[in-house]
A and B are shown apart, each in its own frame.
Chain A
């Protein structure tokens, strides 16, 4: 081959920007609807705060975050459909023809999808909280309990990661959904049947000492449900599953 200047590969920043733009564009309509709801709810909350004032004897805690775990889990389950909406099954088409390491590219898409999901979940939580605030609390008395935020976010993340494992492995979204439901059911059964307390406590201690080391908040045991604590085990397992699927299925060489 004669010497000639080869075309450069894209930079990591350019790829990340392109992927972020793509994922947000793909969800644009959903995000606009969601943003409108958030604006209306916050508007109502402010209006209520001004007009009525807080309810006497409000508890000072935001009451509905945990209740959002189920809808956010559903959102997490469906989210990969949007993240991968534009690409051919198994990405053996346009996505794979681009000059980027496929594992890195796929991980980036999954990661950016997760970041957007977390952002959207936080918005939903904020909107839901805001709409209830006037009746329970003065803004200045607001206390944020990490455990309350942790559970819905962890639920959404776990659902997203489980579906993403199958999205990375298989071509049909129907198959992703069926396998994800089977996976969730399996986790539920294992979680109920197995005695995970020892394992959960071990992970919990590690996480807590890490929190302490970085000066983060310490979560009181009693404020986290059993499921919330088990996520400390399930999330790394699901993440390992996703990583294995990525390494195996999207191997470049």
Chain B
């Protein structure tokens, strides 16, 4: 009942192989094989410091790997840097980039001059929808407003690949809802592959069709969201007095919590196999429930979660 860390198939919009990166003595990535299928929405989940931002930066050649390789849209970020960056809409982790002195309208025009495919009409529509204060200097905007500006900058040239680093960070609930619906409409309208790095999975739950779980520079899980929600289930079972929990094998068990005589497990595996495994150990399964993507991510990020043999 191994948790998958590799996707099968072909037609990757983005793929890394054994990607490694250290900053001095701090290891950010320990050889990850990230694969994002074409036109999918892939959510890369992990706590702060997991290595998510580093992985994203390598794709734009904003950071250089120590080992391994990366490829996006069939291009090497180092060899084909400018050509590849023309295909990417990028939202960085920082809410405010440079050019804080520019009014938002001027910043949009400046950015547009670098992207011949920029659609001014679409940019205007997005700006209106996201209520951008076009005449205010970019540097004087609130975090949320600045983030919305970055979203227009990333979408208006209709890139085939969107790379978003914590895109909803700093947004209030209403702005978050609007932003996510703008993104959902964009994805529906244009053939786009999206890689979103976040530690707030629930926000992107409706969009995501693939998820990768990164912790301490190791990719602990990588699968479709369907597979994750089908294979990682919560089992509530009643156990007899004096029951020896050690009878349940560790394989696939991510979390365990006791409530009186009831014990709850989160286990990766086929439901039938897990039920029989628990039954053989003397536990009577009362309920099996699906996890939300957020709960699944938390379970996979737990110290017991994921494979450690990468």
CB distance from A24 to the nearest CB of B (A): 13
The answer to whether A100 touches B92 (Cβ under 8 A) is: no
Assess the A2–B11 pair: CB atoms within 8 A.
Answer: yes
> Which residue of chain B lies nearest to A22 when distances are taken between CB atoms in the complex?
B110
User: A232 vs B202: C-alpha distance in the bound complex, in angstroms?
Assistant: 65
Interface 9-mer from A3-11, A41-49, A63-71, A217-225: A3-11
Interface size class of B (residues with CB under 8 A): 35 or more
Contacts of B286 in A (CB 8 A): none
Q: From B12, B114, B158, B160, give the contact of A100 (CB < 8 A).
A: B114
Asked if A7 and B115 make an inter-chain contact with CB atoms under 8 angstroms apart, the answer reads yes
Give B76-129 interface residues, CB cut-off 8 Å to A: 78-79, 81-87, 90, 92, 94, 97-102, 106, 110, 113-117
Flag whether B49 is at the interface (Cβ < 8 A).
Answer: no
Closest to B79 in A: A253
**CB of A197 within 8 A of chain B?**
no
Q: Which residues in A have their C-beta under 8 angstroms from that of B98? A: 86-88, 93-95
Interface residues of B in 38-78 (CB under 8 A from A): 38, 60-62, 73-74, 78
Chain A's nearest CB lies how many Å from the CB of B93? Answer: 10
A15 touches B38 (CB 8 A): no
Give which listed residue, A6, A10, A92, contacts B114 with CB less than 8 A: A10
**Residue of B13, B87, B113 most packed against chain A (CB within 10 A):** B113
Cross-chain contact B81 with A9 (CB below 8 angstroms)? no
- Tell me if A99 counts as interface (CB < 8 A to partner B): yes
- B12 pairs with A1, CB closer than 8 A: yes
What are the residues of chain A within 8 A of B97 when measuring CB–CB?
88, 93-94
* Binary CB contact string for chain B from 167 to 210 against chain A (1 if under 8 A, 0 otherwise): 00000000000000000000000010000000000000000000
Q: Find residues 83-120 in chain A having any chain B CB closer than 8 Å to their own CB.
A: 85-88, 92-102
Least CB distance, B259 to chain A, in whole angstroms: 49
CB neighbours (8 Å) of A88 from chain B are 97-98
A1: chain B residues at CB < 8 Å are 11-13, 38, 73-74
| Closest chain A residue, CB of each to CB of B159 | A7
Instruction: Give the interface size bracket for A toward B.
Output: 20 to 34
Task: Determine whether the beta carbon of A9 is less than 8 Å from that of B82.
Answer: yes
Name the distance in Å between A89's Cβ and chain B's nearest Cβ.
10
Quote the shortest CB–CB distance from A186 to chain B (angstroms): 31
B82 to chain A, nearest CB (A): 5
Do the beta carbons of A10 and B85 come within 8 Å of each other? no
Which A residues touch B61, using CB under 8 A?
96, 252
B215 part of interface (Cβ distance < 8 Å): no
| A contact residues around B117 at 8 Å (CB) | 7-8
Bound together, the chains give a CA A26 to CA B101 distance in angstroms of 9
- Residues of B contacting A86 in the complex (Cβ-Cβ under 8 angstroms): 98-102
Q: Is A190 on the interface with B (CB-CB < 8 A)?
A: no
Tell me the complex Cα distance, A204–B106, Å: 47
Give the docked Cα–Cα distance between A17 and B191 (Å).
Answer: 31
A8 touches B86 (CB 8 A): yes
Residues of A within 8 A of B79 (CB): 253
Partner of B62, one of A17, A25, A96, A99: A96
Q: How far is the CA of A18 from the CA of B62 in the complex (A)?
A: 22
B99 with A252: CB separation less than 8 A? no
**In the complex, residue of chain A having the shortest beta-carbon distance to the beta carbon of B57:** A92
Q: Would you call A7 and B116 a contact (CB within 8 A)?
A: yes
CA of A252 to CA of B84, assembled, Å: 12
Asked whether, in the complex, the Cβ of A7 is within 8 Å of the Cβ of B157, the reply is yes
CB <8 Å contact, B160 and A93: no
Instruction: Kindly state whether residue A144 has any CB partner on chain B within 8 Å.
Output: no
- A15 — which chain B residues lie within 8 A by C-beta? 113-114
Determine the chain A residues whose CB is within 8 A of the CB of B110 once the complex forms. Answer: 18, 21-22
Query: For the complex, what is the distance from the CA of A84 to the CA of B278, rounded to whole Å?
Result: 64
Which 9 residue pairs of A and B lie closest in terms of their CB atoms, listed nearest first? A99-B86, A99-B85, A18-B113, A94-B97, A7-B117, A1-B74, A94-B98, A8-B116, A86-B99
29 contacts between A and B (CB under 8 A): A1-B12, A1-B74, A4-B160, A6-B83, A7-B116, A8-B86, A8-B117, A9-B116, A10-B115, A10-B116, A14-B116, A15-B113, A17-B113, A18-B113, A86-B101, A88-B97, A93-B94, A93-B97, A96-B61, A97-B60, A97-B85, A99-B82, A99-B84, A99-B86, A99-B114, A101-B81, A252-B78, A252-B82, A253-B81
A contact residues vs B (CB 8 Å cutoff): 1-2, 4, 6-11, 14-15, 17-18, 21-22, 25-26, 85-88, 92-102, 252-253
